[in-house]
Amino acid sequence: METLRIGMLGFGTVGRGVADLLLNKQELLAQRTGMKLRLVRIATRTPERDRGLRLGNTEVTGDLHRVVDADDLDVVVELIGGIIPARDLVGRAMETRKHVVTANKALIAEFGAELFAMANAHGVQLSFEAAVAGAVPVIKALRESMAGNRIDLIYGILNGTCNYILTEMRLKKLPFHQVLADAQAKGFAEADPSFDVDGIDAAHKLAILSAIAFRTHLDFSRISLEGIRHIADVDIQWAEQMDYRIKLLALARLQEGLLEFAVRPVMVPRQSMVAAVEGVHNAVFVRGDFAGTTMYHGRGAGERPTASAVVADLVDLARDLRSGGKGRLPPLGVPVHHLRTLPIQNAAQRHGTFYLRLAVADRPGVLAEVSAILARHGISLDAVHQEGRSHVEAVPLIMVTHETTEERIALAMGEIETLESVRETPRTIRIESGLA
């Protein structure tokens, strides 16, 4: 039986999962591929640490170059994460004619174009199913199963940490910083949480999905980014009361040739399927002209789910090699010269309804001032909730608008913020009523 000789960079959580799977499922993988998937070598900065695995003949080295420069490997699995040194290592592995499987969303989202060109030049494959939504095979679904569809909308919950925090804030009625601290203690959030809570991680994944869905160049930098740090517990409670739920939503929508491209907290109907995605789960919804809306849901991260996706890529590669197929599938589903760049909607073109929360002085006339500014910008209101009189300095004023544009909202809010009676920066959350 032919052998697929695998080298691995990184032996952390996911690396441990991949090694566990490869070492303990030889027979299953051989049945499924007709090849022996052999984990030849692992490079890690801590080769001496015991991971509780029986490594058998698998070599563990502290020298990353013993993997990327090796001539006794067919494929390198990159699980270091981040850009430096992953970018150079992946490049080096491809230069020396090794296929690459990676779980590194930042690397693909930011340097995918360069790396895909290298893969093409050197006749190797670069696979990245594990970069988005863990075990959930959404790259494959988009690139293969939806191949006959014109996709006009893709959205999802792509960051388990944010979804966990928002779920906990709702269930336990706790503020953001307290839930974040708790998530950090439990290992669900990093010590520096900004990649997650500021939406960058979700945007990396959205950049990848959107490029495949719309046949565009990777363009992470054009995604509108808004994280969840400013979501207050009062927003979450108001959302519940109005039969919505707040989710950090990654969304790419093509309308009349213009792309809406954003990661931001939005309110979704409480009865929708996207609202039902709870805790650390991920879900992706894809709307195609023939398929309608299909949805993919599961564990978005973690040792074993991510390992499942990495091994799925290795199995695909083994099947390609064994069947003699060459260059079966370009990384983004179509050859590079077919990739487009779509114009992005501007704020005047982005229509929607909005939840607005102001902290206002508790005295007569404030609502009149605020309403006058909204009216001047052509914004009409669907609902207004004003809290009863209190003795605190500022009381919340909650408003829900009718359909308007982001530009009008931004201009109106800018004016409203300058009112003497408005005590904090107004909060705006878009309402997405039409999602499945």
* Chain contacts with a second copy (rule: CB under 8 A): 17, 21, 25, 28-29, 31-34, 129, 134-137, 140-141, 144-150, 215, 273, 276, 288-299, 304-305, 307-309, 311-312, 314-316, 319-320, 322-329, 333-335, 338
Q: How far apart are CA 186 and CA 233, in angstroms?
A: 21
To a second copy, the closest distance from the beta carbon of 212 in angstroms equals: 11
The answer to whether the CB of 227 falls within 8 A of the CB of 266 is: no
Q: Indicate the residue among 92 and 143 with the shorter CB distance to a second copy.
A: 143
Residues pairing with 428 in the sheet: 356
The answer to whether the CB of 426 falls within 8 A of the CB of 416 is: yes
Q: How far apart are CA 105 and CA 112, in angstroms?
A: 9
To a second copy, the closest distance from the beta carbon of 58 in angstroms equals: 17
Structure tokens that stand for 240 in this block: 């519940």
Question: What angle is formed at CA 131 by the lines to CA 309 and CA 106, rounded to 5 degrees?
Answer: 160
Q: Indicate the residue among 64 and 139 with the shorter CB distance to a second copy.
A: 139
The answer to whether the CB of 159 falls within 8 A of the CB of 227 is: no
Residue type, 335: P
Pairing mode, strands 59-61 and 36-43: parallel
State the catalytic residue, choosing from 98, 105, 140, 205.
Answer: 205
36 as an active site residue: the answer is no
Phi, psi dihedrals of residue 139, rounded to the nearest 5°: -60, -45
To a second copy, the closest distance from the beta carbon of 27 in angstroms equals: 9
The answer to whether the CB of 166 falls within 8 A of the CB of 244 is: no
B/e letters for 392-413, b = 16+ CB within 10 Å, e = fewer, are eeebbbbbbbeebbbebbebbb
Q: Which of 409, 16, 347, 175 is nearest to 183 (CA)?
A: 175
Give Cβ neighbours of residue 361 (< 8 Å, ≥ 6 apart).
393, 394, 420, 421, 422, 423
Q: Indicate the residue among 3 and 221 with the shorter CB distance to a second copy.
A: 3
The answer to whether the CB of 73 falls within 8 A of the CB of 92 is: no
Q: How far apart are CA 119 and CA 327, in angstroms?
A: 10
Q: Indicate the residue among 334 and 373 with the shorter CB distance to a second copy.
A: 334
Q: Indicate the residue among 129 and 406 with the shorter CB distance to a second copy.
A: 129
Cis before 137 (ω within 30): no
To a second copy, the closest distance from the beta carbon of 309 in angstroms equals: 7
To a second copy, the closest distance from the beta carbon of 288 in angstroms equals: 7
Q: Indicate the residue among 97 and 150 with the shorter CB distance to a second copy.
A: 150
Q: Indicate the residue among 328 and 351 with the shorter CB distance to a second copy.
A: 328
Secondary structure of residue 158 in the 3-state scheme? coil
Q: How far apart are CA 57 and CA 216, in angstroms?
A: 43
Catalytic residues: 205
